[in-house]
Amino acid sequence: MASEFSERLSAERLQAALNERPFQFFETVSSTNDVARAWALEDAPHGAVVIAELQTAGRGRFGRTWQAPSGTALLFSALLRPSLAVPTTRYTMAAAVSVRSALLDLLKLDASDIKLKWPNDVCLHDRKVCGILIEPLWRGALLEALIVGIGVNVRVPFDDPELAARAINLEPFCPSQVDRALLLADILKRLEYWSARVEGLALFQAWRAALSTLGQRVQVTDVGTGRVIAVGRALDVDEDGALLVRAEDGRIQPVFAGEVTLQQFKAE
């Protein structure tokens, strides 16, 4: 395999991969989501994308910080301008399904090898390979845009054993070095396809079928407060993306957001 930094991104390589798609590229940026938000306020078009080799203030869900050394991840934020009055969770589904399908094609793996942990973590062999953070941009009561932030682990050094137990890279499963520019173009093409079909049943079915969480015993926690929201079996999801958890008393509780932890079923 070529050296770690031989596959550096550049404006020229990205232009060749993205063709006419508007983009901004940075060697270092605070957060691609923040740059995309500012660009959206300056009337950047639907489908525009911000890419960076390094984020100094990248973040994940629930305000967590996230950082990978330069050149080791695919870090970008796509700008969508929704034309349909559907829940933003439908775009979360679109992003997750788009990334998963692109990775399945890249790695030539079985569908069971790449699954989704509710609501939108992409997992390879049960470890997180991609995180997705969608942030809305409002003008009053009008949804102006959605910023879809995506980070894919390509060759990130996981020095922390605890992190290495939970996260995984793409490149060990590829016969050659991952071309991040081409992977970016493929994900964006799929995101364009699915974001145009957010109302349809096909998107929900594709997302639901990819979830590894269903059937598992889970605990869902409000990360902001640490309060346990629900404990029980993850029965299903509804078409707006809520996780339906059946508690031990038989009550079924819809959960719209939270941190999911898998638990062991009690012995009978």
Spatial separation of the C-alpha atoms in residues 122 and 93, rounded to whole Å: 11
For residue 3, pLDDT beyond 50: no
Beta strands in the chain (DSSP E): 23-29, 49-55, 73-80, 114-117, 121-124, 127-139, 142-153, 217-221, 228-237, 243-246, 252-255, 259-263
Q: What is the pLDDT of residue 57?
A: 77
Assigned CATH class of 217-263: mainly beta
% the chain with pLDDT above 90: 76
Does residue 128 have a pLDDT over 60? yes
Q: Is the CB of residue 169 less than 8 Å from the CB of residue 156?
A: yes
pLDDT, mean of residues 72-86 = 93
The segment with the largest mean pLDDT, out of 6-10, 104-108, 155-159, 222-226, is 104-108
CATH of domain 11-210: 3.30.930.10
Whether the model clears a pTM of 0.85, i.e. scores above it, the answer is yes
Beta carbons within 8 Å of 197's beta carbon, 6+ residues apart: 94, 203
What is the phi-psi region of residue 43: left when phi exceeds 0, alpha when psi lies from -120 to 50, beta otherwise?
A: left
> How many CB atoms are closer than 10 A to CB 242?
18
CB of 243 closer than 8 Å to CB of 254: yes
For residue 5, pLDDT over 60 is answered with no
**Residues sharing a CB contact under 8 Å with residue 192, sequence separation 6 or more, in sequence order:** 47
CB-CB contact of 253 with 244 (8 Å): yes
In angstroms, rounded to a whole number, what is the distance separating the alpha carbons of residues 41 and 2?
Answer: 40
For residue 83, give every residue at least 6 positions away whose Cβ sits within 8 Å of its Cβ, in sequence order, or none. Answer: none
Helix ranges restricted to H, the chain:
11-18, 32-41, 89-107, 161-166, 180-195, 201-210
- Residue corresponding to tokens 């070095």: 177
**90: pLDDT strictly greater than 90:** yes
Q: Is the peptide bond before 119 cis (omega within 30 degrees of 0)?
A: yes
Under DSSP, the state recorded for 266 is P
Percent share of the chain, pLDDT over 70: 92
State the CB neighbour count (10 A cutoff) for residue 199: 12
Give the β-pairing of 114-117 and 121-124. antiparallel
What does the domain layout of the chain look like in residue ranges? 11-210, 217-263
Residue 58: its pLDDT value, please?
A: 63
* Residues 13-62 pLDDT 10s: 999 999 999 999 999 999 999 999 999 999 999 999 999 999 997 655 54
pLDDT of residue 4: 45
Question: What would the pLDDT profile of 141-183 be if each residue is shown by its tens digit?
Answer: 889 999 999 999 999 998 888 888 999 999 999 989 999 999 9
Question: What does the pLDDT look like over 206-265, one tens digit per residue?
Answer: 999 999 999 999 999 987 788 999 999 999 999 999 999 999 899 999 999 888 888 765
Residue 189 has pLDDT above 90, yes or no: yes
Do 11-210 and 217-263 have matching folds?
no
